[in-house]
Chains A and B, each alone.
Chain A
Amino acid sequence: MAPEFVKVGKHNIDAKEYLAPGHTFCTGCGEALAIRLVCKALGENTIIGMATGCDEVCTSPLPVTSWRLPWLHTLFENAAAEVSGMEAGLKAMMRKGKAPQRDIKFVAMAGDGGTSDIGLQALSGALERGHDFLYVCWDNEAYMNTGIQRSSATPYGASTTTAPAGKLSMGQQTQKKNMVEICVAHEIPYAATACPSYPFDLMNKIKKAVEIKGPAYVHVFVPCPTGWRTPSNQTIEIGKLAVETGVFPLYEVENGRYRLNVDPPKLKPVEQYLKPQGRFRHLSPGEISEIQERVTEGYARLKEKATSFPAG
């Protein structure tokens, strides 16, 4: 990391917009908001490689583009591989005098499906090879672009179009895959969770992640009013509730050492988070308390790590 880290705050936020207006994200889309903030944190010396998903489809209908940063999209499952090529390629060209020397941030962006399912292999390969890049996952907990199908990041109990709640099913029957831990297991220097409901926390994590040499991973929780069946003016609130209930804790892992960034003295009951969302509406009180137990336990385990292996 650079010797002195200048935090992003109210007074030094990049006023430039890198995501031009005219994109087609739904009203109240958490992913759109996160992209806007993340790009501000990255600044203009950035090259982006993006997977197929809402982020790509909503920003690039030919022949126009919403991108004011250099941007590449090719496929659904290969963002980490294509950014590996950008990073290695441009660095080789700089070394050989074929391109001007400068500090460029290489950033891969993909949804939870493009990350935790179909793109997991490419991501693992790129992390293991140690490319100097940042991978950002937009986690809206399903395949939204194709119509709210379940992914391995869909939480237990959520109803989606391919794991619907019905007479015999409570919806998703599996637990959410823990992408941050999977990345930490690759022993990369930096991994973190974030959410646009906490904009400065998000931007500072992104800034830190790209300033660190080597691979970094930031998992961004992005409420999706369309897929979660929430009012479009509740996106920020839902994100906050996810953090305040312990459903989606904000933390970072630097060289294997943990730091909880928001640690409320007392977690709110998960019911407060589940209730406003249509995708959880069918859950019985018994199922809600089962979810509560898991969340409580998961949060305690995370706190234990933050205590036993604290970051600086």
Chain B
Amino acid sequence: MSKRVVLEASHAVAEAVKMADVDVVAAYPITPQTHIPERLAEMVADGELDAAYIPVESEHSAMSTALGAAAVGARAFTTTAGQGLELMHEPVYIAASHRYPIVMAVCNRALSAPISIWCDHSDVMSCRDTGWIQVFCQNNQESFDMTLWAFRVGEDPSVMFPVMVNLDGFTLSHVTEPLLLPDQADADRFLPKYEYRLALKPEAPTSHGGFGLPDIYTEVKFAQEVALRGSRAVLDKGWKEFADIFGREYKAVETYKADGAKTLLVTMGSLGETAKMVVDSKREKGEAVGHLNLRLWRPFPFADFREAVKGVDTLVVLDRCFSFGGPGGPVCSELRAALFDMDKRPKVVGFIGGIGGREIDAETFAYMIDRGKEIAEKGSEYLYEPVLVRGLERGTGVRG
């Protein structure tokens, strides 16, 4: 039986970590992630959670400590944001390469300079190719659900990859709203005990982390690539089991009012909630508009995405990150690449906005949809158009 509670999203993540009965939490505080480690430290101090809470001296050490814990077979969790994720970049890459199923919640935050504590997706985009499974959440319930799911699928013996659970800093991490918490027995049913076959132990010594000469490095990395892509079936199985036990359904690519839609608004993260409201009002006016939420960012769900956009004329994509000097926002260029080989493909129109905590309101989304349709019809000389930049007129953008 689940119980209805009112919790901040950060605390919902902490509840999931507790229900996962982690052995080690190693974290370093950074706004807007602080409420997660604070709540976990409190749980440990009160005896609610039997784990080692390690108040490390940096994010680099947070991830390194998680690596050590994972190497001996412990269930390990860490969490960070923005600059913290940048500082830990090096061991983040190791976690996936060593196939340690560490779970990390990232409260997405803009990158310095100038220093900003507010949300965008620049931090996680720099980790795009680190080899982690990466998912995004839209609300508090999802923050809990994805965290519990992350342990389940990451630790699956046929997966063994770390999982990054992204929640938008402040606009999700600090939001308080009702959600359902399962009871421990159901959580245990969903998430079995974790046993790591190759754990470092004296009775059966193994070496982790040898160095790769050119005659083997390629094979090692290719094996990693095959394994990450191969994990997809288990990610879906994890969501299916989750739905069977808890009744909430998740998919790699989720659509809303997409039946018969000619235009889809594409978002990743908590702005999906606002986007769906805008879709509702457009639909009321008789416009064939829907929403596409990209939940799974890595491994990228190519087939699901292509299937979801069949029959759609225009994709209006919002990126919350600049790719300086590049092809436009990282999500938009990914989607374009995914569609390129299709015979009949929708026109992809890219916008960049919601940077460093700037709100994207309903009016702006409505504008993006209208402008997107216009570009799809008439074409555009721009690679993408930034929205809500002071001094930049609507309808102007960045040329390639």
Contact = CB atoms under 8 A, between A and B. Distances in A.
> Does A associate with B in a complex?
yes
Interface of A: 44-47, 49, 56-57, 60-65, 67-75, 77-78, 80-93, 95-96, 98-99, 104, 121-122, 124-125, 128-129
B94 A90 contact: no
Name the residue among A57, A78, A85 with the largest chain B CB count within 10 angstroms.
A85
Closest 10 CB pairs of A and B: A85-B68, A89-B74, A89-B69, A125-B57, A60-B210, A82-B68, A78-B64, A81-B64, A73-B209, A70-B200
Q: Interface size for chain B: under 10, 10 to 19, 20 to 34, or 35 or more residues? A: 35 or more
B206 A70 contact: yes
Given A49-B68, A93-B74, A71 B208 contact: yes
Contacts of A77: 60
A88 B69 contact: yes
Nearest to A65: B207
Interface in B207-233: 207-213, 216, 220
Interface string B68-106: 111111101000000000000011001000100000000
Contacts of A73: 208-211
A67 B216 contact: no
B54 A88 contact: yes
Given A62-B220, A85-B65, A93-B74, A78 B211 contact: no
A53 to B, nearest CB: 11
Interface of B: 21, 23-24, 26, 50-52, 54-58, 60-61, 64-74, 76, 90-91, 94, 98, 193, 200-202, 205-213, 216, 220
Nearest to B53: A88
B390 to A, nearest CB: 40
Nearest to B201: A70
B68 A62 contact: no
A251 B24 CA distance: 36
Given A75-B91, A82-B71, A88-B52, A67 B61 contact: no
Contacts of A78: 60-61, 64, 67, 91
Given A60-B207, A124-B57, 19 more contacts: A47-B201, A49-B68, A61-B211, A62-B211, A69-B205, A74-B94, A77-B60, A80-B61, A81-B64, A82-B68, A85-B74, A89-B70, A90-B73, A93-B74, A96-B50, A98-B73, A122-B60, A122-B64, A129-B56
B76 A85 contact: yes
B93 to A, nearest CB: 9
A104 B210 CA distance: 23
A74 B64 contact: yes
B296 to A, nearest CB: 27
A82 B67 contact: yes
Nearest to A125: B57
Contacts of B66: 85
A11 to B, nearest CB: 25
Nearest to B102: A85
Contact of A125 (B58, B200, B211, B212): B58
Given A74-B94, A88-B24, A92-B50, A81 B71 contact: no
A57 B74 contact: no
Contacts of A80: 61
A96 B193 CA distance: 12
B57 A74 contact: no
A164 B126 CA distance: 38
Given A82-B64, A90-B72, A90-B74, A65 B57 contact: no
A271 B74 CA distance: 52
Contacts of B206: 70-71
Given A62-B210, A81-B56, A93-B23, A88 B65 contact: yes
Given A81-B61, A89-B69, A125 B56 contact: yes
Contact of A122 (B52, B57, B72, B213): B57
A200 B205 CA distance: 26
